[in-house]
Structure 1
């Protein structure tokens, strides 16, 4: 059995650009179809004009030459060739050998499929951005944290809620330790962001209204938080321990979201959690 020979990255990039160029119809980008086109799709000079790059430079790129390709140029090519989010990421990986930064603007909502999945989950589930802005939640999460839908979008943020929601804080017997870990995790997420402008804006605003947050942030701790334990002291049911895991999910538009699932520990916590959520679960 023979294996398929590996294509050099630049040669694969050249082939990818040629196939994407052939796929775009001139009318889709506002160009006349004409009657003298020998091949389907756009001509090289048309792609170069749409992307605001030199024709020679684009020709060399399609020929697989080892030339410098900046991120702004790749972004313009992606728009000119009408690439999908997945194709855009692939373009960056071929050109630079690493993934492209995710689009900076977060979606306003999650896909219907993801919302159905968390709605069917019997315990609290949240979907948030890398900046911890909460985009979706299920009915048990409303019981545990309150209805995010009643808050303005700019206040549907997990870090803001942790410090500024007194009801949530009152139910967390280990609030200070949990808050320190949360701040350390947020700092790590901010450091990994391609554009941390929105992270810094949240930090500045929160530090101006919460001396405790400002103090924790000034300690410069960092920690990975893929899973953990959350302890809730419910006024009627008593202490409930929830284990939680965070899973990354890619939406169809290319954004990566964090899906956090909470599950009560076996025994007393499970019994109390089922009582807590019995009116909202199926």
Structure 2
């Protein structure tokens, strides 16, 4: 009940700070209270007046994701307010922002550079936008690659280097497609995925097979092995984390799974520092 009361207060406050001119409406007659009327918000958001009134009053009505998105745009909510609206109305985060943040914050890059393990950042469509030197040594150097060739999903499924063990590759492909389907279901801009999906449908038999299945994977973690002739194979456990305040960005960390791998990674890190 407290959530509903807070939602009601939040919507009234957001409505009161807008004037008709802010949303392209004529000022009209003098108003007794400042802000937009409920019927104006409802019309601009494509909702019935009754439905919006009940929603603002805190009644037990549910709005779909598209309706909440239209309401957020109508009320000119910023990123934090949009997330707050979804948390109060649906008790979950909103879909990822349409505008993908592709700028690596200096603090994020500094943190990656300070780590003694490989780390990289991808955006919503799995394009790599940031990495540290240990990624370049243990996996690949993304520096010389144009953006179009830095899509981690396509690299992992199409690069021949990952196909040496057929069973391992099949298992990896199954997990990757399941996670990619999860990301696709959450995006508010599916067109950024459509080109990748079309390309993979044409170029990967395993993608076609697993895309038709119902499995989804809401997390990104598993074990992988980096073959490093100079120090020996390193077994990593990787996991991903959302970068707070950077819509669509995900930080992936690769930690050694066992003492032997940790020792080999330490030697590799030392060679990078020299």
Q: Is the TM value for this pair above 0.5?
A: yes
Could you tell me how far 1:125 is from its partner in structure 2?
0.4
- Output the aligned Cα RMSD: 3.7
Aligned partners of 1:184 and 1:220 also within 8 Å = no
Q: Is the 8 A contact 1:181 1:223 kept in 2?
A: no
Q: Hey, what does 2:162 align to over in structure 1?
A: 169
Give the C-alpha shift of residue 25 in structure 1.
6.0
Question: Alignment partner for residue 177 of structure 2, among 183, 187, 203?
Answer: 187
Give yes or no for contact 1:185–1:224 (8 Å, CA) kept in 2.
no
Q: Secondary structure at the match of 2:241?
A: strand
Q: How many equivalent pairs are there?
A: 270
| Secondary structure of the structure 2 residue equivalent to 1:149 | coil
1:275 has 2:267 as partner? yes
Contact 1:185 1:225 in 2 (8 A): no
**Counterparts of 1:281 and 1:38, CA distance in 2:** 68
Aligned to 1:87: 81
CA distance in 2, matches of 1:83, 1:38: 24
Q: Aligned in 2, Cα 1:20/1:184: closer, same or farther, shift over 3 Å?
A: same
TM-aligned CA deviation for residue 201 of structure 1: 4.1
Mapped pair 1:108 → 2:98: no
Cα separation, partners in 2 of 1:69 and 1:245, compared to 1, 3 Å:
closer
CA distance in 1, matches of 2:211, 2:54: 48
Which position in structure 2 is the counterpart of 1:7?
A: 2
Summarize the alignment of residues 249-268 of structure 1 with structure 2, pairs less than 5 Å apart: 249-252=243-246, 255-268=247-260
CA distance in 2, matches of 1:224, 1:59: 35
Residues 158 and 66 (structure 1 numbering): CA distance in 2 closer, same or farther, change over 3 Å? same
Is the partner of 2:255 in helix, strand or coil? Answer: strand
Matched, 1:51 2:45: yes
* CA distance in 1: counterparts of 2:257 and 2:176, whole angstroms: 25
Instruction: Quote the Cα distance in structure 1 between the aligned partners of 2:95 and 2:55.
Output: 21
Q: For each residue in 1:135-166, what CA deviation from the matched residue of structure 2 results, as whole angstroms up to 9, or x when unmatched?
A: 32112112223222332323322221123334
Contact preservation (8 Å) 2:179, 2:220: no
Q: 1:183, 1:217 within 8 Å by CA — same for their partners in 2?
A: no
1:70-113 deviation line (CA, Å, top 9, x unaligned): 43332222112221223223323433454432234533234333
Are residues 225 and 177 of structure 1, via their aligned partners in 2, closer, same or farther at CA, if it must alter by over 3 Å? farther
* Structure 1 residue 228 displacement after superposition: 2.7
Aligned position for 1:3 = none
Q: Judging changes above 3 Å, is the alpha-carbon distance between structure 1 residues 204 and 182 closer, same or farther for their aligned structure 2 residues?
A: farther
Instruction: Note if contact 1:190-1:199 (Cα within 8 Å) is conserved in structure 2.
Output: no
- Over 3 Å counting, the alpha-carbon distance change for 1:164 and 1:7 in structure 2 is closer
